Structures are given as C-alpha cells and as structure tokens.
C-alpha cells in the first residue's frame, strides 16, 4: 500500500473513536430531543433556524471556503426555493404532498440551471466578475418579487397552509408528554432533510471532485497546469451548492408558512450568511453550525437585556439606556470572536489541535 492509502486506512480506523465523532453524535441528539427539553416555541424556533441556516451557510462554504470563489448572491437560490413553495401552496392553492414535492423539484432544477448559466458566463473571465453577476441577479430577483404582486404577493408576501400532517391544526396525539402537532412534524422533517444534505456536502468536499476544488482554491494556476479545466469544477461546485440552498429555502418557508422579498431575498440575509461563515470558519462545514448558532442566539436573546436589567436594576436610567444598545454588544461579541478566533471558531480549533498533534 502506498502512503496515501495507509493514511486513509488509518483515518477510517480512527473515525469512530475521535472526540469529534462523539461531539457530532451529542449535537445530533440535542437537535432530536430539543422539543422534549424545551417546551417554549421561541426556543424551538431559534433551534430550527440554526439548523436551516447551518445547511445554507455550509452550502455557501462549499463555494467560498472549499472552492475559493466569492458569490454575493447565494441567497438568490434560497429565495427561489422559498417562492416556489409559497406560490404552489399559497397563490395556486395546490396544497397536496405531490405539489409540495413538485415545487421543491422545480426550484432545484431552476436553481441548478441558473447557477450553471451564470458560472459558464462569468467564471471563465474572472472570479470577481462572478461575485458581481450573482449580486446583480439577486437584486434583480428581489425587485421582480416586489413588483409582480399577482404572482409573488409583492412586499406583502404570501401566507399559505400546508397539507395533511404538516398543517398547523393537525395533531397525532401525545408522546412522552409532547403533543405531535403539524408544527412538530415539520420540525423533524426539516431536521431529516438538513441532515441528509449536510452529509451529502461532507461527501462532496471529501470526494475526488472536492479535492480538485481545494487544489483550485490553493493554487488555480497549478491546477490548470495539471490539466484540470478549473472553471468547470467551479461551475459544478456552484450548481451543487445552489440546489442545496434552494431546498433550504423551501424548508424555511415550510416552517414559517410565509414568504416575502425581505424574508428570503434581501441583501441583509446574504450579509448574515457571510457573517456566519466568518464566525464559524471558512472551509470547515461544521463551522456553519457555530456561526448560525452565534447569530441566531444573540439576535433572539440580546434584545431581552433591557427587560432583564430593568428587573435587576430598577430605577437606574443609565443601566436601562445601556441595555437598549444590544446591537453594540453584538458588535463587541463579533470583534472578540474575530480577534481570538482569526480563522473562525472551528478553523482555529482545528489549527490548535493539529499543532498539538504535530508536537
């Protein structure tokens, strides 16, 4: 056996013994048992949004962290998935499982084809041109969704109902003291889809194609000299990530039962995704979970500082005024994370463990 084969054999032997494996199992168990541990819908909502955005951010990390190309319009595909589910279920009133699956399928196909067309058009020139083109497409789609009121509902968006066991008023009965409503079934369905997509992305980045993408990221000229048509591999990565983002867009609107331009296609969502990638660490995939958790938890609970401080320090105006500046504390937390974790939480942790292992 050659050294590479020996390395992979040793890696497979230690795969189920490493601390990271047990951490992943505990994390999955936490997501599975969240409805039983927390009866608050607010907590359940935050946890599921962490799951959804973890997969969305991981799909963006496939493009940015593993391929090395910058896209400023990745949320475009998230919005496509959101709107197709919303239009089928809401505007067209096709509330059946078959039509829901058809909405997902059409969104995946359109996202994949659009991503290939954009990539073939822009990646052969310069990568920065790809960033500008994707941003332009996202802004165009945002404007289109705002103007076509008869189809998209305009700025008011679309509210809709889901079929069968996914409906809010559906109840399957109680299990371990928890009533299995349509909302809870939606939670587990989205968790299952997210897990499958995350495992697919892990397989993708560790496949031969993924290795080529990482070589392109590290040294595109060398990859070209080795005979690889680099832009084709970049198009493959972009189209794969866009299909994942489309599915997560559909999952997001299944959970919130509402879609609008601001909730699915805005620049602010793209900035959130970029922030999550930076916090978690580029080129890690698992960093997306930490990045999404940081943003969702702080955004959900930092604004409640005012209530907490007002109850602890009543009658002190300065304390109340300081507690209102939760965005300031959010910024401070972000600066602290970037300072102490320059490669993101997971990226810096991997670097520390690798250094210790080598020593």
Question: Is 278 within the bounds of a domain?
Answer: no
Question: Is 18 within the bounds of a domain?
Answer: no
Among 261, 353, 337, 258, which Cα is nearest to 293's? 337
Q: What is the mean pLDDT of residues 165-188?
A: 82
Classify residue 171 as exposed, middle or buried by CB count within 10 Å of its CB (0-12, 13-18, 19+).
middle
pLDDT in tens, 298-353: 988 887 776 676 666 666 776 667 667 778 888 888 899 988 888 889 888 888 88
3-state secondary structure of 15: coil
> In this predicted structure, what is the pLDDT of residue 77?
95
Question: Is 276 within the bounds of a domain?
Answer: no
Distance in Å from the first CA to the final CA of the chain? 27
Question: Is 332 within the bounds of a domain?
Answer: no
Say which range, 76-85, 88-97, 145-154, 174-183, has the weakest mean pLDDT: 174-183
Residue 206 clears pLDDT 70, i.e. is over it? yes
Question: Is 121 within the bounds of a domain?
Answer: yes
Say which range, 92-96, 168-172, 237-241, 267-271, has the weakest mean pLDDT: 168-172
Residue 134 clears pLDDT 60, i.e. is over it? yes
Q: Which residue has the higher pLDDT, 291 or 169?
A: 291
Question: Is 134 within the bounds of a domain?
Answer: yes
Highest mean pLDDT among 91-95, 115-119, 229-233, 304-308: 115-119
Q: What is the mean pLDDT of residues 231-238?
A: 90
- Number of structural domains found in the chain: 1
pLDDT in tens, 213-223: 988 888 888 88
Question: Is 309 within the bounds of a domain?
Answer: no
Percent of the chain with pLDDT over 90: 41
Mean pLDDT of the chain: 86
Containing structural domain, residue 239: 40-266
- The CA-atom distances, in angstroms, between 144 and each of 37, 150, 155, 222, 260 are 42, 11, 11, 41, 12
Say which range, 111-115, 223-227, 254-258, 312-316, has the weakest mean pLDDT: 312-316
Question: Is 207 within the bounds of a domain?
Answer: yes
Do the Cβ atoms of 326 and 302 come closer than 8 Å?
yes
d(CA 53, CA 77) in angstroms, rounded, equals: 13
d(CA 307, CA 227) in angstroms, rounded, equals: 62
The predicted model scores a pTM of 0.91
């Amino acid at each position: 056996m050659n050294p590479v084969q020996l390395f992979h054999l040793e890696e497979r032997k230690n795969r189920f013994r490493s601390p990271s494996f047990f951490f992943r199992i505990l994390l999955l168990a936490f997501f599975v048992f969240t409805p039983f541990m927390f009866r608050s819908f607010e907590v359940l909502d935050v946890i599921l949004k962490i799951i959804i955005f973890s997969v969305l951010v991981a799909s963006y990390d496939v493009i940015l962290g593993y391929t090395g190309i910058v896209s400023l319009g990745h949320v475009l595909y998230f919005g496509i998935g959101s709107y197709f589910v919303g239009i089928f279920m809401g505007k067209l009133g096709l509330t059946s499982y078959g039509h829901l699956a058809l909405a997902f399928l059409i969104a995946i196909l359109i996202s994949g084809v659009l991503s290939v067309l954009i990539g073939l058009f822009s990646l052969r020139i310069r990568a920065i041109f790809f960033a500008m083109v994707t941003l332009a497409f996202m802004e165009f789609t945002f404007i289109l969704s705002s103007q076509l009121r008869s189809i998209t509902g305009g700025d008011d968006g679309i509210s809709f109902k889901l079929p069968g066991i996914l409906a809010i008023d559906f109840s399957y009965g109680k299990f371990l003291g928890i009533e299995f409503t349509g909302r809870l079934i939606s939670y587990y369905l989205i968790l299952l889809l997210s897990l499958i997509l995350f495992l697919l992305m892990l397989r993708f980045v560790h496949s031969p194609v993924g290795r080529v993408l990482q070589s392109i990221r590290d040294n595109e000229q060398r990859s070209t000299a080795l005979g690889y048509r680099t832009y084709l591999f970049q198009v493959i990565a972009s189209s794969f990530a866009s299909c994942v983002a489309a599915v997560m867009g559909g999952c997001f609107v299944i959970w919130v039962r509402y879609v609008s331009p601001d909730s699915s296609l805005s620049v602010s969502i793209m900035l959130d995704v970029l922030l999550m990638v930076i916090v978690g660490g580029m080129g890690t995939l698992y960093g997306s979970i930490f990045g999404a958790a940081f943003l969702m938890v702080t955004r959900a609970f930092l604004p409640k500082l005012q209530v907490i401080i007002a109850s602890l320090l009543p009658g002190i105006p300065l304390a109340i005024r300081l507690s209102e500046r939760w965005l300031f504390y959010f910024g401070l937390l972000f600066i602290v994370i970037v300072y102490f974790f320059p490669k993101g939480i997971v990226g810096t942790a991997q670097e520390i463990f690798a250094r210790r292992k080598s020593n």
